[in-house]
Copies of this chain bind each other. A is one copy, B any other.
């Protein structure tokens, strides 16, 4: 196996196995067997099992940084809430493993949670709290809304749709064709929820 191919294969196998069993549930032997490489290749490319996990985690959460570009492009607070919802749907649709790493790091954090996961989650929350503050200044949102709590409520709505999808498969339709309709419904609930009555 070529070096770049070996690196790619280990990342693929690491993503799948770590997402199912967590950092401590996967052995270096299991990883090398599943990737069809030797154990020494993990050391060569990533230093250790922890090094591979760190790289996988970095790749999973890399998309969170896109919030900055979106915020630069979209100035209106309501349009930004919509962009955030669409972007979050896209993040989960494009990456079926994200939710597993996200929930497992939040409920059973590894040593990589504080340096890698917490900062990018916080950046998104702080950015969206800023958007809501801007909406309050523009009198689009109510003055008594707490920007950070409202940003968390918004994140909760949209992330829970994906988190609960296995439990609700008989209750609602989860096909991506419905995403736009759902985004519109969440946008409506949220903007009315924080909006100024009668406007």
Q: Point out residues on A near B: beta carbons under 8 Å.
A: 19-22, 24-25, 99-100, 103-104, 106-109, 113, 117-118, 121-122, 125-126, 129, 142, 144-146, 148-150, 152-153, 155-161, 163-164, 166-168, 170-172, 182, 185-186, 188-190, 192-195, 197-198
User: For the complex formed by this chain, how many copies does it contain in all?
Assistant: 2
Question: Does A107 contact B113, Cβ atoms closer than 8 Å?
Answer: no
Query: Could you jot down 9 A-B contacts, CB within 8 Å?
Result: A20-B108, A21-B24, A25-B25, A103-B104, A107-B163, A122-B167, A122-B168, A144-B188, A152-B168
> A168 to chain B: closest CB distance in Å?
6
Question: Does A149 contact B193, Cβ atoms closer than 8 Å?
Answer: no
Residue of B nearest to A150 (CB): B189
The CA of A166 and the CA of B164, in the complex, are separated in Å by: 20
The CA of A104 and the CA of B148, in the complex, are separated in Å by: 27
